[in-house]
Amino acid sequence: MKTNNVRGTKHASPESAVTLTRRQFIQRSAAAAAASWPLLASPRVLGANDEFRLAIIGCGNRGGAHIAQFGSQKGVRIVAVCDPDRLRVKAAADAIKKKFKYRPDAVVDVRRLMERKDVDAFSVATMQYWHSLPTIWACETGRDVYV
């Protein structure tokens, strides 16, 4: 790299300057703006003493582990559990009632869960080949998603 001394500082010469077309500049600027959008569109800001309201999607083995881990955290409340198997989702809600002394809503249609405004974040604990659709829908709500 060639350098020019101007008042004791080194500057890159025009030969080494990065060339960027107008199209590349617009594409990169748009990508940066899109990447920052979730930071600007947060649905709710939690205070230090606020309760974190979580919905768990999938009530099988992994969902049970998510319930145990998230449910035991101070300040976290599981407001809903979701599974298409009515018996499994009822059993998960009953287990939360027994262990944590409150009963979350039992939901069988994940699309209804996405419409709820009382959920701060979603935990996707479905089978690995069913992760993508609930994760995409949850991301589209602008809330946090744990997969």
Mind listing the pLDDT tens digit for each residue in 90-128? 999 999 999 999 999 999 999 999 999 999 999 999 988
One-letter-per-residue 3-state SS of 80-136:
EEECCCHHHHHHHHHHHHHHHCCCCEEECCHHHHHHCCCCCEEEECCCHHHCHHHHH
Residue 85 confidence (pLDDT) above 90: yes
Average pLDDT over every residue of 125-137: 92
pLDDT at 44: 59
Are 34 and 56 in a shared domain?
A: no
- Structural domain contains residue 67: yes
Are 107 and 79 in a shared domain?
A: yes
Are 87 and 129 in a shared domain?
A: yes
Are 77 and 7 in a shared domain?
A: no
Which residues span the domain enclosing 69?
52-146
Are 32 and 69 in a shared domain?
A: no
- Structural domain contains residue 47: no
**34-73: pLDDT as tens digits:** 665 554 455 556 666 689 999 999 999 999 999 999 999 9
> Does residue 89 or residue 49 have the better pLDDT?
89
Look-up of token digits 């939901």: 107
Distance between CA atoms of 4 and 114, rounded to whole angstroms?
Answer: 59
Average pLDDT over every residue of 73-96: 96
Residue 27 pLDDT level (bands cut at 50, 70, 90): confident
Are 35 and 65 in a shared domain?
A: no
Number of domains in the chain: 2
Q: What is the pTM of this model?
A: 0.67
Are 88 and 119 in a shared domain?
A: yes
Q: Which tokens is 71 given?
A: 């449910």
- Structural domain contains residue 135: yes
